[in-house]
Structure 1
Amino acid sequence: MTTVPSLGDDAKREAMRAALLAQGWNQADIDAAFLPPPPVSVYRMRQGVADALKEMRRDLPRSVKTWEPYLQVYLDGFPGMCPCPCVACATGPCPCPGGTAGHHGTCAMPDDDRHTDCAERYTGIADLPAAEATFSEVAEAAWWAERHGLKRTVARNVKREAKGRNPLHSDGRGAREQLIQASRWMFAWLERKKKIDGNPALEVKLPPRQEATARSLTPEEFGEVYGVAVSTGQDPTLDGLILRHLLIQGVRRGALLDSTCEGLDVANCRIRYWDQKKTWRWRPTTRTHLADLITHAIVRGPRVAAPPDASEAERRHGIAALTATSPVFYGRPVDTFDEHGYFVSRTVRPITRKRIELIFARIRRNLPWTENVELRCHDIRHTSGRLIYKAADQQMAKLHLAHDGGSTTDHYLKERLDELAKLKEQLFEPRRDDEQS
């Protein structure tokens, strides 16, 4: 039997099939001759998100925790969430039948919303070809992410009101911004990999940010905050060290958590930080504070059992086993001893973001005025910068906070780091008796 070559044009294929049938060919022979074209592999959003996240873990590991949940919205959607931000819908199952039945009496759906039917759901676009994603798909996902953030705030405020606490003011725009930023990165990467043509997320505008609520504290206010922190918790040593570090160094929360033993420079009395712009920065500290950090890391950091010929003290307490990558800040460790009371092993507990958040949550519970101003970790950074500004000048404060930029002039001003070190000694180093006399 003669095999008819397959044609790409469907119209021509059908015309040839009809002609062969008219000539008396058997239908089975025609079907065998006209083999179906191989299926075209379609690169869908499901695969695009998976590949982008894999690349992100390698290229931007610090962004994965923030951006992965938002990219996952394209795949999972919010199938169990109605679009209404009212208290009834935010704190429990949606009471509305939706559709033509309308809204329940307790539902208060805004009339001018993008979606006004409680029956509507966002189920994602996992099976959409990545090349067909447009402005509309990104904008739709961003709207639902923003609404999810708003409903979360509404639900939390109900609980806060019941406890007599001030309401939160977040309206979900932060979630919207993060989804757009994550989408811009993902589609830009897909475009570089020739999976799509153009970046649809670039056309979606970022929402305007809310006014920053961070404020600096007076020395008296910080003293009150510090006193509450070290007197109401179960680990005053750690709480006090964290607050002192935030004040003396003026770092962000992430820089504190990323501090390692390798970054403690004893010879030059300085500490190395990983900056937001992917650069290492050295900043001076005080002698006492650096000693406190080293002591804390040695006492609470990793330890190993001492050999049998070691001293009695080493066998009782173990031997410090800090490495260059060991964190600086730890909670109380869990030690194991044998029947003779000799050290066997230790489970260390490096602090996390949650540990710092708990400190400030406890301060707000025990100090009413801090609840009114919504005290947070970043306020201590503001306080630190203002102390340096009042004691020196704006340029010194910018250098202290790593806001000094990258211009040539600012590069030469880096020589003022030694002046910053002396200023910190004057502000934060305890006076010794021989210096006071």
Structure 2
Amino acid sequence: MEAARLLLARMGISPADLVGAGRPTAPTFAEYIPVVREAVSDGSRKAYNTYWNRVLEHWSQRRIDEVRASDIERLAEHVKANRVQRRNARGGHGSAENLIAALRCLYRLAVADGLLSEGENPALKVSKPRRMPSTRRAVPDTRLAEINAAAARTSEDPDLDSLLLRLHTETACRRGGALALRPMDLDPTQCLIRLQEKGDMVRWQPVSPTLMRHLLLHAEQRQSPPDGQLLRYRNSRPITHRRYDTLWGRIGEALPWVATQQISTHWLRHTTLTWVERNFGYAIARGYAGHTDRGSDVGSTATYVKATIEELAAAVAALTGEPHPLV
């Protein structure tokens, strides 16, 4: 060690000069966050963009290798304390969790780019807040009927809104899956639709002949291109997530209990999957939901008891009271 220090001293090099030698200087957050935004998927960008903006507000000119785990903890507490107050707020746990997830995404790319080593990743040294149980639950049949009636009664486009609710209630798909649906994803012969949902997962979901007929009619009347978005307004403009916001806003005005409980499209997913699980079992419900084998709470048995497409079609037939061609 003494010989090494003597050699470095004669060369005019300090030990500190050797730290990080051979790799580029780490960028600032202001320089690197735009790079991350361009690299991630649309879904990740939408989920994390708000929290990257919070990082820029506090650490814009700091280099990404200057932040420590304690800095992230402090920023998470600041975001938690200064969150937007909403009716369904739960103490800011979600805000802190999303900030840490956004930073983990950023630092994961930084490690892949060779700007940091895995051991220098400060976001991995910060634990996410424990996720609280969801308050969503299945909606009773009578309440579900009220929701459908209110949606049609208060809408300037009842055909569109009724189709949206039928699609989500029957298939338990997520909003992203409905918005990504294209006419070319419809298989009228077998009454199947191809859903593209989060995590780039693609699956075929059985639907009733009635729903298939109305999806085809909607695509024809609203001039949806075969490879373009299926769900559209009367002027053929594709709908966005904003349509869901206005839909539930109107339903909430007509049915105050909907607004009070913050009921949304995802409650329909809970409703359908609860019914499927009660009547057809856990394996069929997992297949109906499009869940994969990933996840620490899934045992290895799930690999061997996957639901078949015919079993999912049987569940759809029982749910809707209509025969299905695959059953």
1:169 aligns with one of 70, 77, 89: 89
1:20-419 maps to which residues of 2 (within 5 A)?
A: 43-56=27-40, 60-75=41-56, 77=57, 124-149=58-83, 152-153=84-85, 167-197=87-117, 198-302=120-224, 322-324=225-227, 326-333=228-235, 348-403=236-291, 405=293, 410=302, 413-414=305-306, 416-419=308-311
Greater CA drift, 137-146 or 242-251: 137-146
The amino acid across from 1:367 in the alignment is: L
1:329 CA drift (Å): 0.9
Task: Tell me which amino acid in the other structure corresponds to 1:126.
Answer: S
Deviation by residue 1:250-273 (Cα, 9 ceiling, x = unmatched): 111221122122221223211111
Residues 128/299 of structure 1: CA separation in 2 closer, same or farther (3 Å cut): same
Q: Distance in 1 between matches of 2:153 and 2:247?
A: 11
Identity %: 25
Are the equivalent residues in 2 in contact too, given 1:404–1:410 (CA < 8 A)?
A: no
Q: Which letter does structure 2 place at the counterpart of 1:381? A: R
Q: Once the 2 structures are TM-superposed, how far is the Cα of residue 143 of structure 1 from its aligned partner? A: 2.3
For 1:218, the aligned partner's letter is P
Distance change >3 Å, CA 283–CA 42, structure 1 → 2: closer
* Corresponding letter in the other structure for 2:226: T
Amino acid at match of 1:139: E
Task: Tell me, in whole angstroms, the C-alpha distance in 2 between the residues paired with 1:219 and 1:42.
Answer: 57
Contact 2:174-2:197 at 8 Å conserved across structures: no
Q: CA deviation at 1:247?
A: 0.8
Cα separation, partners in 2 of 1:297 and 1:133, compared to 1, 3 Å: same
Higher-Rg member (1/2): 1
1:51-97 Cα offsets, whole Å, 9 max, x none, are 222322xxx3321112123123222x1xxxxxxxxxxxxxxxxxxxx
Displacement of 1:134 in angstroms is 1.2
Q: Secondary structure at the match of 1:272?
A: strand
Q: Give distance in 2, aligned partners of 1:409 and 1:295.
A: 42
Task: Please give the per-residue CA displacement for 1:174-224, whole angstroms capped at 9, x wherever unaligned.
Answer: 221111111112112112222123110111121122331111112222111
Q: Decide whether aligned partners of structure 1 residues 412 and 328 sit closer, same or farther in structure 2, where only a CA change above 3 A counts.
A: farther
The 3-state SS of whatever aligns with 1:271 is strand
Question: What's the CA shift for 1:131?
Answer: 1.9
Which piece of structure 1 moves more, 355-364 or 410-419?
A: 410-419
TM-score, L = length of structure 2 = 0.83
Question: Residue 194 of structure 2 aligns to a residue in which SS?
Answer: strand
User: Deviation at 1:142?
Assistant: 2.0
In structure 1, distance between residues paired with 2:263 and 2:61: 44
- In 1, the alpha carbon distance for the partners of 2:187 and 2:254 equals 37
Q: Provide the C-alpha distance between the structure 2 equivalents of 1:356 and 1:48, rounded to a whole number of angstroms.
A: 33
Aligned residue number for residue 317 of structure 1: none
SS of the counterpart of 1:277? helix
Q: CA RMSD in A?
A: 2.5
State the distance in 1 between where 2:219 and 2:305 align. 33
Q: 1:403 to 1:55 in 2, by over 3 A?
A: closer
Q: Which has the higher contact order (CA 8 A, sep 6+)?
A: 2
- Rounded Cα–Cα distance in structure 1 between residues aligned with 2:140 and 2:13: 78
Displacement of 1:10 in angstroms is: 9.3
Residue 385 of structure 1: how far off its partner (Å): 1.1
Looking at structure 2, the residues matched to 332 and 252 of structure 1 have their Cα atoms a distance apart, in angstroms, of 23
Aligned-partner SS, 1:132: coil
- 2:205 is paired with a residue whose SS is strand
Offset, 1:408:
7.5
1:106-144 CA-to-partner distances (Å, cap 9, x unmatched) read: xxxxxxxxxxxxxxxxxx222222222211232233223
How many equivalent residue pairs?
299
8 A Cα contact 2:93 2:131, kept in partner:
yes
- Once the two structures are TM-superposed, the CA of residue 41 in structure 1 deviates from its matched residue by 5.9
**CA separation in 1, counterparts of 2:267 and 2:25?**
53
1:288–1:429 contact (8 Å) kept in structure 2: no
Q: Which runs of 5+ in 1 are unaligned?
A: 1-6, 12-39, 78-123, 157-166, 303-321, 334-347, 432-437
Give the 3-state SS of the residue equivalent to 1:130 in structure 2.
Answer: coil
| Alignment-derived partner of residue 116 in structure 1 | none
